[in-house]
Structure 1
Amino acid sequence: MLKKFLYLILVPFFISSCSYFQNQTNKKNTIHEVDTLVDFTSVDAFPLFPNCTEIPSREKQQICFQMEMSQHIYASLKKHQLNALELVNDTVLVKLKVNAEGKTTLSNVEISEDTKNKFPQFDSILRVSISHIPILKPAIKRDMPVTTQFVLPIILKN
């Protein structure tokens, strides 16, 4: 009788314990590794002006973006008369930011003191010019729109 009682208690225990271990191994197999290393220095797609979206190549899209941005800022600067009595030969580094909504803002302007004295209104003209840039398609990283920052050199010569 005692043997039957032990069998009734031990057999269900062994059966349930075997299925317990089987479920544990299945759970381990279903866990997926997540790639946590993200390169924050590059994007999958650059911010784009509306007429650059049809270009299939990533490199050509970047070139199109740079050309459109340069043309827009140079056209805006041409509207203003930047006259200097002295010789000017300088490069101004303009740091621009395109946020995740596609709005372009001016982050910083690196300009020499000499050029700043010759063109004191240059910063404000540049800010107005950048505020008139149309809304862009933002940069994409892992299928999500992200904020990007880049430097645009502006060469001033007379």
Structure 2
Amino acid sequence: MIQEVDTVVDFNTVDAFPLFPNCKDIPSREKQQICFQLEISQHIYASLKQFKFNAKEVINDTVLVKLKVDALGKTSLSTIQISNKTKELLPEFDSILKVSLQNLPLLQPAIKRDMPVTTEFTLPIVLMN
């Protein structure tokens, strides 16, 4: 018996988002996504609050941080889109961000067609002082 196999996979969408341990029991896919976004934001913001940034000038900028959650659930930093001015005023920002990601718990990876997959997403971080 020959069975047709659908080989077209949309890699821009996943069947299930990466999840923190306390988000996995939420029944709604949309609410799981919101839970994930809140958890990652709260963790990173709390981690950044622990550091004293000594900028010589006022900073009012949004940094775009691209994060990757691999198929094993480990989160890492892909890229940081930061203005030259902010980078000059906060040269340690990227290394502090990397340290905060190391403290994240292991996540349940995203799922596509019942397989764990690597996903990337962008987290905006608003900097103001």
Q: Same fold (TM over 0.5)?
A: yes
Distance (Å, rounded) in 2 between the aligned partners of 1:112 and 1:150: 19
1:85 positional shift: 2.8
Choose the corresponding residue for 2:25, options 42, 54, 60: 54
Q: SS at 1:90's partner residue?
A: strand
When the two structures are superposed, what TM-score results if normalisation uses the length of structure 2?
0.98
1:42 positional shift: 0.4
1:132 positional shift: 0.9
Structure (1 or 2) with the greater helix fraction: 1
Q: Which amino acid aligns with 2:54?
A: N
Q: Any idea what the Cα deviations from partners look like across 1:91-134, whole Å, max 9, x if unmatched?
A: 00101000000000001111000000111110110000011111
1:146 maps onto 2:117 in alignment: yes
Choose the corresponding residue for 2:90, options 112, 116, 119: 119
Displacement over 3 Å in runs of 4+: none
RMSD: 0.7
1:132 maps onto 2:89 in alignment: no
Point out where structure 2 has 5 or more consecutive residues left out of the alignment. none
Choose the corresponding residue for 2:46, options 50, 75, 78: 75
The match for 2:61 is 90
1:86 positional shift: 1.5
Distance (Å, rounded) in 2 between the aligned partners of 1:83 and 1:67: 27
1:83 positional shift: 2.8
Distance (Å, rounded) in 2 between the aligned partners of 1:97 and 1:87: 30
Q: Which has the larger radius of gyration?
A: 1
Q: Which amino acid aligns with 1:92?
A: V
Identity %: 70
When the two structures are superposed, what TM-score results if normalisation uses the length of structure 1?
0.80
